[in-house]
């Protein structure tokens, strides 16, 4: 249960940390909504991402690895 809470809290921290940049990107970047933007980022080459997008996606990937570890236990 402790690892699930850690994962949840880290996910909230990442979302909170990048919230303003995500809002700006959706509002002014020509994206339909947040889910479409994140879908695009997941498929985008890292070289085409902004620095903060690359950092955010790296953090999300790390959380996914932790989630897989939790599910494997």
pLDDT at 13: 97
Mean pLDDT computed over 40-58: 97
Q: What's the pTM value of the predicted model, to 2 decimals?
A: 0.88
Q: What is the pLDDT, as a whole number, of residue 1? A: 77
Q: In this predicted structure, what is the pLDDT of residue 48?
A: 97
Number of H helices, E strands in the chain: 3, 0
Give the least confident one: 12-16, 19-23, 68-72. 68-72
Q: What percent of the chain has pLDDT over 70?
A: 100
What pLDDT, on a 0 to 100 scale, did the predictor assign at position 57?
A: 97
Domain boundaries of the chain, sorted by first residue? 2-72
Neighbours of 22 (CB within 10 A): 20
């Amino acid at each position: 249960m402790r690892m699930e809470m850690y994962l949840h809290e880290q996910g909230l921290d990442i979302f909170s940390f990048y919230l303003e940049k995500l809002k700006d990107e959706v509002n002014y970047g020509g994206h339909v909504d947040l889910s479409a933007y994140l879908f695009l980022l997941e498929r985008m080459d890292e070289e085409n991402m902004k620095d903060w997008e690359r950092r955010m996606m790296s953090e999300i990937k790390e959380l996914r690895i932790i989630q897989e570890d939790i599910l494997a236990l």
